[in-house]
Amino acid sequence: MEKFIRFIASGQNNFIHFLRIAIFVVMAWIGGLKAFKYEADGIVSLVANSPFMSFFYKDANKQVVNDEGKTVKAYTLYKNVEGKTVEKNIKWHEANGTYIFSYGLGTVIVTIGLLVLLGIWYPKMGFLGGLLTFGMAFVTLSFLITTPEVYVPNLGGDFPTPEFGFPYLSVGGRLVLKDIIMMSGGLIVASDNAKKILNRFYA
């Protein structure tokens, strides 16, 4: 057991490199998927309600009346369920700027992932990538405050349920919450690269 503990203790540098690779895989995969309509559709509620990003959409704050006579944000009437596409929804998103924004966001995410990965060999790039990862995670976590869809809605049923709203996270909310790990990972790799930069400066 002692040998195993020593092995884990001595492998910290390699584990930080593994963290860099893990961040890159997540960023490259998720960022790459932003080039596809279903992924762009999936983040609409997050972007439309975000004070940091809603201005990228043409109709982010447009109010309309739904079939039940309730005033709601327009995007709620044009959702495409994953695996299903509806032409009128696609056209609305094209006019809204949904896909153009998603392409740009995906490019930014993949670039951040590459910077983090390059931190294995280039500390300054890795330092920047780590800080940007932290910043991106901060924005993502803000969705827990700004986006109603991250919590279970009260849809009724055969009997009343108390399990809706805060703190009952929906599927989307549970995915958002996991970004707190990405936030800490960004700080760890940035700190590691900062040490390397200082070592080279004072060497």
Helix, coil or strand: residue 151: strand
Q: Which structural domain, as residue segments, surrounds residue 126?
A: 10-55+100-202
- Whether residue 203 is predicted with pLDDT greater than 80 in this model: the reply is no
Residue type at 51?
P
DSSP secondary structure letters along 36-59: SHHHHHHTHHHHHT-TTTGGGSTT
User: 4 lies in a domain?
Assistant: no
User: 167 lies in a domain?
Assistant: yes
Please give the Cα distance from 187 to 135 (Å, whole number): 10
Q: Are 31 and 121 in contact (CB under 8 A)?
A: no
User: 130 lies in a domain?
Assistant: yes
pLDDT tens readout for residues 29-57: 999 999 999 999 999 999 999 999 999 99
Query: What mean pLDDT comes out for the span 145-157?
Result: 91
User: 133 lies in a domain?
Assistant: yes
For the chain, how big is the Rg over CA atoms in Å?
Answer: 21
User: 171 lies in a domain?
Assistant: yes
User: 89 lies in a domain?
Assistant: no
Quote the number of domains for the chain: 1
User: 141 lies in a domain?
Assistant: yes
